[in-house]
Amino acid sequence: MMPAIGYAVRRENRFILSDPKLNAAEITFEHADLPLWTKSFISGDDIDYVAIHALKLSVGSPDPPGKAYLDALKAVAIENNATAISDHLGFTRDGEGGIEMGHFAPVPLTQPALDVVCRNLDFVQKYVDPFPFYIETIAYLFQLEGTMSEPEFLKKMFQRTGVGWLLDITNVYANGRNFGFDPKEFVEEVMPYAPRVQMHLAGGFFDEEQGLYFDTHSQPIPDDVWDLYEYSLKLGQGKVDAVFIERDAEFPGEEEWRRELHKMYDLAEGTSSGQATVNS
């Protein structure tokens, strides 16, 4: 199965929506009220798959997400004839109406946190039905104390909720590099439990002074991330629905926008036709 191929739409890459190798677009919900992101903007460009990507459901918070936010999210999905909706596994506030941190924090890898996340995901999935929902695993620079590994947490979450996995390849690469685990083993362990998959790709940089990789969405996608992407496509064959590149800063010229899109397409095509090789 060939996944839908696209970009997370930004002002700077909207011209690329007419590229013949692009048939998917991801719209960030928080920007969807701008005229730039509306239905009229993406219609007529042979886009088969539109994902609405939200930032503030905060499914790791103790309270379930607010209904006003969910109503608006669903309305934008309907308006854009969306295929799917997504947000991140983490928390951005302490509770509904509480303090917003403006960034995703990782959930503690504990049974009570798993119960809360699953309850919130069940709630969200019912609310946004019939749109399938995907949860993105985030990049983190710290981990809260826990009682299980991240793959264990994710496997149980997928089994209990049936939620889709938005596998951000660069996030797994960054976490593996920063916390000393093998990203390929991580994907190998979790992938069988994800019922359906979307992917993100992006490029960041390694800060020598801090000894950390930062997923800044500001650089070309590194070779190791392309390698992990190809590997993950192979592991997820038959259930990867869509893949998107995210770029949010230091925007490239047209040639580079197209180069990365075409590379993403070619690797997916090679995998779906059985030509890709997986080197573990």
26 binds Fe ion (CB under 5 A): no
Which of 168, 230, 241, 260 is close enough to bind Fe ion by CB under 5 A? Answer: 168
Burial class (CB in 10 A: 0-12, 13-18, 19+), 277: exposed
Give the whole-angstrom CA distance, residue 227 versus residue 246. 17
Near Fe ion by CB under 5 A, which window of 92-100, 119-127, 167-175, 219-227? Answer: 167-175
The stretch near Fe ion (CB under 5 A) out of 16-24, 165-173, 184-192, 261-269 is 165-173
Nearer to Fe ion, 168 or 241 (CB): 168
| Chain residue at closest Cβ approach to Fe ion | 200
Q: How far is the CB of 274 from Fe ion (least distance, A)?
A: 28
With contacts defined by CB under 5 A, name the span among 47-55, 168-176, 206-214, 269-277 that binds Fe ion: 168-176
Q: Peptide bond before 222: cis, by omega within 30 degrees of 0?
A: no
Shortest Cβ 3–Fe ion spacing (Å) = 15
- Between 87 and 230, name the residue whose CB sits nearer to Fe ion: 87
Binding footprint of Fe ion on the chain (CB under 5 A): 168, 200
